[in-house]
Amino acid sequence: MPTSDLRTLYAAHLAVLETRAQEALARGGFDHLVVPSGSLHYQLFDDRDYPYAVNPQFKAWLPLTQVPDSWLVYTPGDRPKVVYHQPFDYWHVVPEAPSGVWTEHFDIAVIRTPEEALQHLPKNAARCAILGEAQSALGGYAPNNPQAVVDYLEYHRAYKTPYEIATMRQAQRKAVRGHRAAERAFRAGASEFGIHLAYCQAVGQDAVELPYRNIVALNEHGAVLHYTELGRLPPKPARSFLIDAGASHHGYAADITRTYAADANGEFQALIDAVDATQQKIGQLYRAGNDYKRVHLDAHLLLACVLKDFGIVDLSPEAALETGVSSAFFPHGLGHGIGLQVHDVAGFAESDRGGKIAKPEGHPYLRLTRVLEPGMVVTNEPGLYFVDLLLDALKQGPQAGAVNWDRVEAFRPYGGIRIEDEVLVTDGDPVNLTRPAFAEAA
Ligand code: GLY
Ligand code: MN
Ligand code: MN
C-alpha cells in the first residue's frame, strides 16, 4: 500500500479511536485514558522471560508491538501522547527511535528507564482510566480497568476501520505465502515440523511472532482441533494435511485453515471439496442483520447435508442438528471476531454497556453470539472431523444406528477437514478477505 494511502487511513483510524475514547471516558467518569504497553513476564524461579505480548489496548492505537514499558496517554482535547521506552541496554536490541506514519499525530516522550514514565503521566492518577495488567502498576498509577470504559472500547473494536481492514489484508497476504509454502512442503513429503519451518520461512515470522501456534496436522492428527505437537518424522504414507496458521501485521492477525489430500482423485479430496463448497455457501450468510447464533446453526444444517450425501449419517439435517449428531462431526464454533487478537474480544457482548448474549444450548464452543453488522471481520471455519472420543460416545448413544460406521472407518485415517477464511461484513455482499490473497499469489 502506498504510504500516502496508509497515512490517510491511519489518520482517520485515529480520529475514530479518539471519538470512542471520549465516549468511554465519559461513561466511566474519567478525564484521561492511560494505557501501558505491558512489560516482560519471567518464568517462575528463573530469569528467563516469556515472549513479550503487547497490551491489545495499546496496539489498538499504535502499530507498535515491541516497546515494553511504554505508555499511551489520551486526554480529550489534547494531542495523544506516547511515552516511548527506549532503554540504554547493551544486552538486547532496543526499540528503534520512533518512526512511521503514527509519529506525526502524537507528542512523543522518549524515556530510558520505566520509572521515567511517571513524569509524563497525567498529574491526578485518580482521574485516569488505566487499562492494563496489574504488573504495569507504576508509582500511584495502577491499572483500574474500569468496566464501563473497557466494555465500551471492546464492544466497538468489533467494527473495523478502513485502516484496520487494509492492515488485516496485509496479514492475509503474509499468511497465504506461508500456506502455499506449507502445501509444497507437504507434497514433497516433509514432516509436520518441516512444514512448520517452511511456513515460518515463507511468512518471515518466527513462531513467537505469529498470532497463535501453528496447527500442522498430518493424517489422524487433523482430528485434534488444536494439534500443535509438530511431529519430527513424516508419517508413511502421508494421506492428508490440515494447516491452521496465521500471520501478524502491525499487531493484527490472520487466521487461515486449509486441508489437502495426497490423492487428488480419492474420496477424501471429494469430501474436502464438499466442505469447501459448503464453507463458501455459509460465507454468503455473513450479512448485516443476521444473528450469528443462527448462522452457526445453519452451518450445522449445511454440513449435515454433506454427511448425508457422503453416506456417513442417515438423518435429515434437522434431525442431525437436533440430536447432536452433527456436533459429533463439527464440534466447535463456526467462527469468531478477529483483529488485534485472533479471538477478538466482546464476542458475546450484548451492548456497549455490558451484558452477555448466551450461546445456543448444546453449542458451548461458539465464540460469537452477536448480530452481524457492517465493519465486523469474522472467521468462517466449518469443519468435519473424525474424533475418536466423540465417535465412541456417538456409538454408545441412541443415534448409533443413524451412522454408517464403515464409512466412518474409511475416513478416520484422514483426521478431519477445516476450511477457514476471514469475512468482512458490509452493507451489501460479504467480502472474503482470504480468497483474494490466494488468487493474487497464484
Ligand atoms: N486458529 C484457531 C482458530 O481457528 O480459532
Ligand atoms: Mn484457525
Ligand atoms: Mn479461527
Does residue 421 have its Cβ closer than 6 Å to ligand 1? no
The protein residue whose alpha carbon is closest to atom 5 in ligand 1 is 343
Task: Give 3 or 37, the one with higher predicted confidence.
Answer: 37
Residues composing the chain: 442
The predicted structure's pLDDT at residue 350: 98
Q: How close is the Cα of 212 to the center of ligand 3, in Å?
A: 10
Q: What percent of the chain has pLDDT over 70?
A: 100
Q: Report the sign of the C-alpha dihedral through residues 318, 322, 324, 330, in that order.
A: positive
In 3D space, the residue among 226, 230, 211, 218 whose CA is nearest the CA of residue 259 turns out to be 218
Choosing from 381, 417, 419 the residue with most ligand 1 atoms within 8 A of its CB, the one to mutate for a pocket test is 381
What pLDDT, in 10s, does the model give residues 147-180?
A: 999 999 999 999 999 999 999 999 999 999 999 9
Q: How close is the Cα of 69 to the center of ligand 3, in Å?
A: 30
Residue 27 pLDDT exceeds 80: yes
Q: Which residues of 306-321 are buried (b: 16+ CB within 10 A; e: fewer)?
A: bbeebebbebebeebb
Q: Across all residues in the chain, what is the average pLDDT?
A: 98
Q: How close is the Cα of 225 to the center of ligand 1, in Å?
A: 9
Q: Please state the rounded mean pLDDT for residues 58-72.
A: 98
Q: Measured between alpha carbons, how far is 411 from 222 in angstroms, rounded to an integer?
A: 11
Question: Is the distance from CB of 242 to CB of 417 less than 8 angstroms?
Answer: yes
Q: Which domains does the chain have, with CATH numbers?
A: 3-156 (3.40.350.10), 162-441 (3.90.230.10)
3-state secondary structure of 59: helix
HSE (CB half, 13 Å, CA atoms) of 142?
A: 3
Q: Measured between alpha carbons, how far is 384 from 413 in angstroms, rounded to an integer?
A: 13
Q: Please state the rounded mean pLDDT for residues 291-309.
A: 98
Beta bridge partners of 240: 261
Query: Cα 73 vs. chain centroid, distance in angstroms?
Result: 27
- Quick one: 226 exposed, middle or buried, by C-beta within 10 A (0-12, 13-18, 19+)? exposed
Q: Measured between alpha carbons, how far is 122 from 126 in angstroms, rounded to an integer?
A: 10
Residue 199 pLDDT exceeds 80: yes
Does residue 212 have its Cβ closer than 6 Å to ligand 1? yes
In 3D space, the residue among 214, 202, 201 whose CA is nearest the CA of residue 246 turns out to be 214
Q: Please state the rounded mean pLDDT for residues 301-327.
A: 98
**Cβ neighbours of residue 262 under 8 Å, at least 6 residues apart?**
187, 237, 238, 239, 240, 241
Binding site membership for Mn(2+): which residues?
Answer: 244, 255, 336, 381, 420
CA angle 39, 252, 275 (to 5 degrees): 130
Q: How close is the Cα of 255 to the center of ligand 1, in Å?
A: 6
The predicted structure's pLDDT at residue 3: 81
Q: Please state the rounded mean pLDDT for residues 190-199.
A: 98
The protein residue whose alpha carbon is closest to atom 4 in ligand 1 is 255
CA distances from 31 to 17, 42, 76, 106, 130 (A): 15, 33, 7, 18, 11
Q: Which residues of 174-207 are buried (b: 16+ CB within 10 A; e: fewer)?
A: bbbbbbbbbbebbeeebbbebbbbbbbebbebee
Residue 266 pLDDT exceeds 90: yes
Sheet strands (E) in 112-153 = 128-130
The predicted structure's pLDDT at residue 160: 98
Q: How close is the Cα of 227 to the center of ligand 2, in Å?
A: 11
**CA-only gyration radius of the chain, Å:** 24
Residue 1 pLDDT exceeds 80: no
Which atom of ligand 1 lies nearest, measured to the CA of 246?
Answer: 1
Which atom of ligand 1 lies nearest, measured to the CA of 418?
Answer: 4
The predicted structure's pLDDT at residue 2: 78
Q: 3-28 and 162-187 helices cross at what angle (nearest 10)?
A: 120
What pLDDT, in 10s, does the model give residues 329-382?
A: 999 999 999 999 999 999 999 999 999 999 999 999 999 999 999 999 999 999
Helix runs in 162-254, H state only: 162-187, 192-203
Q: Please state the rounded mean pLDDT for residues 279-298.
A: 98
Choosing from 210, 213, 244 the residue with most ligand 1 atoms within 8 A of its CB, the one to mutate for a pocket test is 244
The protein residue whose alpha carbon is closest to atom 3 in ligand 1 is 255
Which atom of ligand 1 lies nearest, measured to the CA of 257?
Answer: 4
Q: Measured between alpha carbons, how far is 252 from 164 in angstroms, rounded to an integer?
A: 8
What pLDDT, in 10s, does the model give residues 424-442?
A: 999 999 999 999 999 999 9
Q: How close is the Cα of 150 to the center of ligand 2, in Å?
A: 26
Does residue 422 have its Cβ closer than 6 Å to ligand 1? no
What pLDDT, in 10s, does the model give residues 80-117?
A: 999 999 999 999 999 999 999 999 999 999 999 999 99
Does residue 255 have its Cβ closer than 6 Å to ligand 1? yes
The predicted structure's pLDDT at residue 87: 97
What pLDDT, in 10s, does the model give residues 173-186?
A: 999 999 999 999 99
The predicted structure's pLDDT at residue 145: 98
Choosing from 242, 343, 344, 365 the residue with most ligand 1 atoms within 8 A of its CB, the one to mutate for a pocket test is 343
In 3D space, the residue among 324, 200, 163, 186 whose CA is nearest the CA of residue 262 turns out to be 186
Beta bridge partners of 73: 34, 81
Which atom of ligand 1 lies nearest, measured to the CA of 420?
Answer: 4
Q: How close is the Cα of 340 to the center of ligand 2, in Å?
A: 15
CA distances from 149 to 27, 145, 284, 409 (A): 7, 7, 34, 52
Confidence of residue 196 (pLDDT cuts 50, 70, 90): very high
Ligand nearest to the CA of 212: 1
Q: Measured between alpha carbons, how far is 124 from 100 in angstroms, rounded to an integer?
A: 31
Q: Please state the rounded mean pLDDT for residues 14-19.
A: 98
Residue 4 pLDDT exceeds 90: no
